[in-house]
Structure 1
Amino acid sequence: MNISVTLFLSGHPRTFKFQGRMGWAMAQLAEAGAHGITTIERPAPRLSAYIHSLRKCGVPIETENEPHEGAYSGTHARYRLSCDAQVTVLGKGGAQ
């Protein structure tokens, strides 16, 4: 997925272009809004790596640890954008 995303950071819009799985992850974060995303709700291999890469690019993402039950109870991360975002899909193809 190829996307262009404009982040509204303290009144200073900043535009990025992402492709492949980073584009997918960014689009998922923007679509989820304040609810955020987890690997439990939106399974994806290496989601935390995509979040890390997006942060290195300057995308402000918050992490909240949440408990979960079941045979392998513990905690998982919920990721949320810390600003408003506007995403434009440029194409469905791209590097993975």
Structure 2
Amino acid sequence: MAKTDWGNAPFTIINFDRNHLHIYVKGRDKWALGQLIGAGNRGCTPIENPAPRWSAYVFNLREIGVQIDTVHEPHGGDFSGLHGRYILRSRVLPGHVEVVR
């Protein structure tokens, strides 16, 4: 089994206002960003994409400027209630890319 590199990786974030920023992400935050990118407009939930601390990863990404929406959805079962669906709203490019406005 190949080992995954969870070290620092550069990304360019382009937000709604067309402002952009260059960030570095590593570890589980990098994993969560990859999950959000892969999910597209359907987003991710802790139920469909299990991980110990989704809310913390989303918090960390938001703190560095990534725009992520949270939609609250009901779920059934023995522990019914609400869960969050996280939807990436920023455009994310791998590497540090110069963006022309």
Aligned to 1:82: 89
Q: Residue 5 of structure 1: CA displacement?
A: 2.0
2:11 aligned partner: 5
1:38 to 33, 36, 45: 45
Cα distance, 1:20 vs structure 2: 0.6
The structure 1 segments of at least 4 consecutive aligned residues displaced by more than 6 Å after TM superposition are none
Write the mapping of 1:56-71 to structure 2, written as runs, cut at 5 A.
56-71=63-78
Instruction: Report the TM-score, using the length of structure 2 for normalisation.
Output: 0.78
> Identity percentage over the alignment?
41
Root-mean-square deviation (CA, aligned residues, Å) is 1.4
Contact kept? 1:22, 1:54, Cα under 8 Å: yes
Instruction: For structure 2, list consecutive stretches of 5 or more residues without a partner in the other structure.
Output: 1-5, 96-101
Gaps of 5+ in 1: 89-96
Alignment correspondent of 2:55: 48
Aligned length, in residue pairs: 88
The two structures have a TM-score, normalised by structure 1, of 0.82
Q: How far apart are the structure 1 equivalents of 2:28 and 2:44?
A: 15
